């Protein structure tokens, strides 16, 4: 059982950056209208601007949060960058961000290749790095600025975002409780087939074909088996949350906010309903930012909870689930945190 | 079976309930779409605690086929 607990560590703040450019999702199918599509997936608009990479957005969000926290850059001991859209195949993006942010060369920097579950995985890694007190301050930088996922430019379920979570060592803090899981048998449920070592890029990678779901794509664009992912999400996420709650005797009625990966409205409503969370106790960013992959949980906190929770004890359950297949749930409490204004970049 | 047909029919807003029988080829209904497919997966999870794969829906033709798949997984 992949349960983890790290004490003496707390979240200091959250920030997120998105492009200013708004895109209105349009239906990809003749079966339903644009309005029906938006209503059903729950995405009214997203932010997409191909000028930016994930690391650009994370860099801007990090600068904002460091300034708002009044952290001295030389005190930042570690950065973890979680993305499936890094700047290069190699090198890793985190050392580039270390340099771009002007952090010390005595900085632990590593990339993690995970998507929708990535914030929770990244948080457990950061919490583990800090909890013994060897490293004191860390930035968890997450997001996916995905290039077009198919040949229809009006099909943006996915939005661009980069989010930063500042985490610090503090003796006596209760810290974080995690549950993690993986099921690689579902690796094809969400996949970009070509461009890696298994199927290297060739000219044929660019051939546009009709996929099983009727959508035109080349092999560098992401394919998703929507029905399998839906079934996975509505069953696995609630189970993971219940397991964590049971393990640590957490009463879900006492949780102030449930923050789920923002997959689509039907999935999120289903999970919240199964766990008896009323809409007031659920933070969301899907409506105006779409599915932002690993950034979706911290973006929901920035976009949905700023001004509401900073100075009062707040109990969270957050759950990320998706591509891998991979999932993770975390329980933590915040108090005296900074939530930066959303950074919107031109 | 009757209960399953009723639950399935409830997923549709605009289709006349008389059109739903065990032999109904549900993919031929005007209102059937990838979105009703997701609702079907959710209904089966909620009512029967059964997890459908996409293929379970792809390989089914009639409502009875769906019901038999549910039964085989309960």
Mutation site for B-interface testing, chosen from A185, A227, A272 by largest number of B Cβ within 10 Å: A227
Measuring CA to CA, how many Å separate A234 from each of A101, A249, A263, A270, B67?
Answer: 39, 23, 11, 6, 20
A258 strand-pairing partners: A282, A317
Query: In the predicted model, what is the mean pLDDT of residues A288-299?
Result: 97
Token digits for B59? 């390989």
Q: What is the pLDDT of residue A157?
A: 84
Q: What is the pLDDT of residue A156?
A: 74
Measuring CA to CA, how many Å separate A235 from each of A273, A283, B41, B55?
Answer: 12, 20, 10, 17
All residues of chain A having their beta carbon less than 8 Å from the beta carbon of residue B54 are 225-228, 231
Over the stretch A81-129, which tens digit does the pLDDT of each residue have? 999 999 999 999 999 999 999 999 999 999 999 999 999 999 999 999 9
Residue B6 dihedral angles phi and psi, to the nearest 5°: -65, -45
Binned at pLDDT 50, 70 and 90, residue A39 comes out as confident
Q: Does A33 touch chain B (CB under 8 A)?
A: no
Which letter, b or e, does each residue of A216-229 get, where b requires 16 or more Cβ atoms within 10 Å of its Cβ?
Answer: ebbbebbbbbbbbb
Q: In chain A, pLDDT over 90 holds for what percent of residues?
A: 85
* Mean model confidence pLDDT for chain A: 94
Of residues A29, A232, A266, nearest to B38 (C-beta)? A266
All residues of chain B having their beta carbon less than 8 Å from the beta carbon of residue A263 are none
pLDDT at A1 over 70: no
Q: What pairing do the DSSP bridges indicate for beta strands A314-322 and A326-334?
A: antiparallel
Mutation site for A-interface testing, chosen from B11, B37, B42 by largest number of A Cβ within 10 Å: B42
Q: What is the pLDDT of residue A26?
A: 81
Q: What is the pLDDT of residue A154?
A: 65
Q: What is the pLDDT of residue A318?
A: 98
Over the stretch A180-224, which tens digit does the pLDDT of each residue have? 999 999 999 999 999 999 999 999 999 999 887 778 899 998 888
Q: Does B59 touch chain A (CB under 8 A)?
A: no
- Collapse the DSSP code of A51 into the 3-class scheme (helix H, G, I; strand E, B; otherwise coil) and give the result: coil
Q: What is the pLDDT of residue B21?
A: 94
Is B34 in contact with A36 (Cβ distance < 8 A)?
A: no
Contact A98, A52 (CB under 8 A): no
Nearest C-alpha neighbor of A235 from the set A211, A270, A282? A270
All residues of chain A having their beta carbon less than 8 Å from the beta carbon of residue B52 are 227, 231
> How distant is the Cα of B33 from the closest Cα of chain A, in angstroms?
6
Report the C-alpha gap between A330 and A309 in whole angstroms. Answer: 18
Q: What is the pLDDT of residue A57?
A: 98
Q: What pairing do the DSSP bridges indicate for beta strands A216-217 and A209-210?
A: antiparallel
Binned at pLDDT 50, 70 and 90, residue A162 comes out as very high
Q: What is the pLDDT of residue A160?
A: 95
Mutation site for A-interface testing, chosen from B11, B30, B41 by largest number of A Cβ within 10 Å: B41
Q: What is the pLDDT of residue A32?
A: 74
Residue of chain A nearest B47, judged by CA positions: A274
Q: What is the pLDDT of residue A211?
A: 84
All residues of chain A having their beta carbon less than 8 Å from the beta carbon of residue B38 are 226-227, 230, 266
Q: How many CB atoms are closer than 10 A to CB B13?
A: 7
Nearest C-alpha neighbor of A78 from the set A6, A40, A133, A119? A133
Binned at pLDDT 50, 70 and 90, residue A149 comes out as confident
Q: Does B50 touch chain A (CB under 8 A)?
A: no
Q: What is the pLDDT of residue A47?
A: 94
Is A227 in contact with B35 (Cβ distance < 8 A)?
A: no
pLDDT at A153 over 70: no
Q: What pairing do the DSSP bridges indicate for beta strands A314-322 and A257-260?
A: parallel
Over the stretch A231-282, which tens digit does the pLDDT of each residue have? 999 999 999 999 999 999 999 999 999 999 999 898 999 999 999 999 999 9
Q: What is the pLDDT of residue B17?
A: 87
Quote the longest CA-to-CA distance of chain B.
Answer: 30
Over the stretch B10-61, which tens digit does the pLDDT of each residue have? 999 889 889 999 999 999 998 898 888 988 999 999 899 999 988 999 999 9
Report the C-alpha gap between A260 and A119 in whole angstroms. Answer: 11
Q: In chain A, pLDDT over 70 holds for what percent of residues?
A: 98
Q: What is the pLDDT of residue A103?
A: 98
pLDDT at A67 over 80: yes
């Amino acid at each position: 059982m992949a349960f983890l607990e790290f004490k003496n560590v707390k979240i200091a703040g959250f920030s997120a950056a998105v492009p200013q450019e708004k895109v209105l999702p349009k239906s990809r199918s003749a079966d339903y209208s644009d309005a029906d599509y938006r209503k059903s997936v729950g995405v009214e608009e997203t932010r997409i601007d191909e000028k930016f990479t994930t690391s650009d957005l994370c860099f801007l969000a990090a600068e904002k949060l460091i300034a708002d926290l009044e952290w001295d850059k030389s005190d930042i001991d570690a950065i973890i960058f979680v993305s499936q859209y890094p700047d290069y195949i190699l090198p890793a993006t985190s050392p580039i961000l270390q340099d771009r942010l002007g952090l010390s060369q005595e900085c632990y920097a590593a990339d993690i290749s995970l998507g929708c579950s990535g914030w929770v995985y990244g948080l457990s890694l950061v919490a583990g790095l800090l909890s013994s007190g060897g490293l004191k301050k860390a930035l968890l930088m997450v997001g996916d600025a995905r290039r077009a996922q198919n040949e229809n430019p009006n099909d943006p379920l996915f939005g661009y975002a980069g989010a930063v979570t500042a985490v610090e060592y503090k003796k006596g803090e209760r810290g974080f409780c995690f549950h993690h899981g993986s099921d690689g048998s579902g690796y094809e449920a969400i996949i970009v087939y070509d461009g890696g070592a298994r199927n290297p890029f060739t000219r044929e990678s660019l051939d546009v074909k009709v996929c099983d779901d009727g959508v035109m794509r080349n092999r560098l664009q992401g394919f998703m088996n929507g029905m399998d992912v839906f079934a996975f999400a509505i069953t696995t996420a609630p189970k993971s949350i219940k397991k964590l709650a049971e393990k640590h005797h957490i009463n879900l009625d006492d949780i102030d906010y449930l923050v789920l990966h923002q997959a689509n409205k039907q999935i999120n409503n289903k999970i919240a309903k199964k766990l008896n969370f009323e809409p007031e106790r659920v933070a969301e960013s899907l409506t105006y930012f779409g599915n932002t992959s690993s950034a979706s949980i911290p973006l929901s906190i920035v976009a949905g909870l700023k001004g509401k929770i900073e100075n009062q004890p707040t109990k969270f359950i957050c759950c990320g689930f998706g591509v891998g297949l991979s999932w993770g749930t975390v329980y933590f409490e915040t108090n005296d945190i900074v939530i930066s204004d959303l950074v919107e970049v031109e | 079976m009757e209960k399953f047909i009723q639950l399935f029919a409830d997923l549709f807003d605009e289709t006349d309930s008389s059109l739903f029988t065990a032999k109904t080829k549900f993919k031929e209904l005007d209102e059937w779409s990838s979105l009703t497919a997701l609702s079907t997966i959710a209904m089966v999870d909620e009512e029967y605690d059964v997890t459908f794969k996409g293929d379970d829906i792809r390989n089914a033709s009639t409502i009875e086929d769906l019901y038999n798949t549910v039964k085989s997984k309960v």
